Amino acid sequence: MKELTRAGSSPAVVPGIASPDSKTARADPPHHSAPAFLWSWKLLTVANIDVYVHGTFVLLIAFVGFNDLIAGRGLPAMVRDVVLLLAVFAAVVLHEFGHALTARRFGIRTLDITLLPVGGVARLEKLPDTPRQQLLVALAGPAVSLAIAGVLAGVVTAIEGTVGFASLGGANGTFLTQLMWINVALAAFNLLPGYPMDGGRVLRALLAMRMEPELATQLAARVGQGVAVIFGLVGLLVNPLLVVVAVVVWLGAKAEHSLSTVKVALAGLSVRQGMITDFRTLSPKDPLSRAVELTLAGFQQDFPVMDGTQLGGVLTHGDLLRGLSGHGANLAVEHAMRSEFETASPAESLDGALTRMHQGKCPVLVVVERRDVVGVLTVGNIGELLAMAAAGRRSSAVPGRAGNGKRLANA
């Protein structure tokens, strides 16, 4: 058994793990994760999926209403346009549920859906396993938008006798006709190959049928950045809103490309190769001043909290700062730590562990082997591992272990 380096401590036991031979040791995570975007508020929960709205969405509603008033269209026009905007975003929510419920068919949970001024984002816990499944999930959203347009077309035909094109390019036409064409435009726009938009994900799935998944992601992301440049140039000449869309698509494509690069670098590595093995722990009754002392004395910023031999929680650097700011250095660790945390097995893939840290509420994983706490894994550790491995590849000489007890993969 691996002993902890805190003086007088004994091997830690993690409650809730039935078998010491279990391959994966992790506490049950909270059912709902933190929202993907700051300044987001939960609207409702449907099909066990939380739907959030970003604060800037309120500014969009205010802008639409104010624009109608200063243009002299009057209060009825303002109310109509605001209701149309809300109807459009209701359709966007249904579009995102198309992705979410299709992913659920393949056993993939959707963490949440967030409404932004430029559209919606459904955050899946992972990509579907096969390119075919990825293709179906990507196409599900535009399919829902076209289905909504089809239903509206039927209603409009029943009421008006025909589906006109008067509202296709402007503000003319009835409310339902406009909403119908907006859903058609939503489907068509999302099918443009601007990764990470739906069309970009369709492109990525088709590429993944012929090449390595991460290479497919990188190529699709590059295409997405090219589409963003086109959006930006057209937006400068036609509609400034396209410039905003271009920035969002560019940043999204860049983030996907960077994440794919990290996944390639972490391929084949385990948690054991990235975790800290020389670490300290805290007791629930320790004052925060003890955490400050350990932080200033070494490299560690996140601490497992041990109640005797039981792992009772985690005190992250952020928790420490909030506790110090609100209550001072004499506050007991148990009042500042978080009791909702996740653990990892040393044999777990480093890529999978990083994904869980990004999705969850806690930026640190406690590494457990046969009920013993044997390490701590943070995003910072993984970043250092990647940086040192890259430097080692350039010099063709990577040591088996770096300072401060951090392991490095052979480059």
Q: Which amino acid is residue 20, in one-letter code? A: P
Cα–Cα distance measured from residue 376 to residue 362, given in angstroms and rounded to the nearest whole number: 12
Helix (H, G, I), strand (E, B), or coil: what is residue 301? coil
- β-partners of residue 52 are 42, 114
Cα–Cα distance measured from residue 134 to residue 189, given in angstroms and rounded to the nearest whole number: 19
Q: Read off the pLDDT of residues 9-46 as tens digits, 9 standing for 90 and up.
A: 333 334 333 333 333 333 334 445 566 667 788 888 99
Q: Read off the pLDDT of residues 125-170 as tens digits, 9 standing for 90 and up.
A: 777 879 999 999 999 999 999 999 999 999 988 887 777 665 555 5
Q: Read off the pLDDT of residues 104-130 as tens digits, 9 standing for 90 and up.
A: 999 998 988 988 877 888 888 777 879
Q: Which residues contact 262 (CB under 8 A, 6 or more apart)?
A: 351, 354, 386
In the chain, which segments carry CATH 3.10.580.10? Answer: 271-405
Q: Read off the pLDDT of residues 164-188 as tens digits, 9 standing for 90 and up.
A: 665 555 556 788 888 999 999 999 9
pLDDT at residue 408, rounded to an integer:
41
DSSP 214-256: HHHHHHHHHHHHHHHHHHHHHHHHS-HHHHHHHHHHHHHHHHH
pTM score, whole prediction: 0.66
Cβ contact 121:248 at 8 Å? no
Cβ contact 374:20 at 8 Å? no
Cβ contact 362:314 at 8 Å? yes
Cα–Cα distance measured from residue 13 to residue 29, given in angstroms and rounded to the nearest whole number: 18
For the domain covering 271-405, report its CATH number.
3.10.580.10
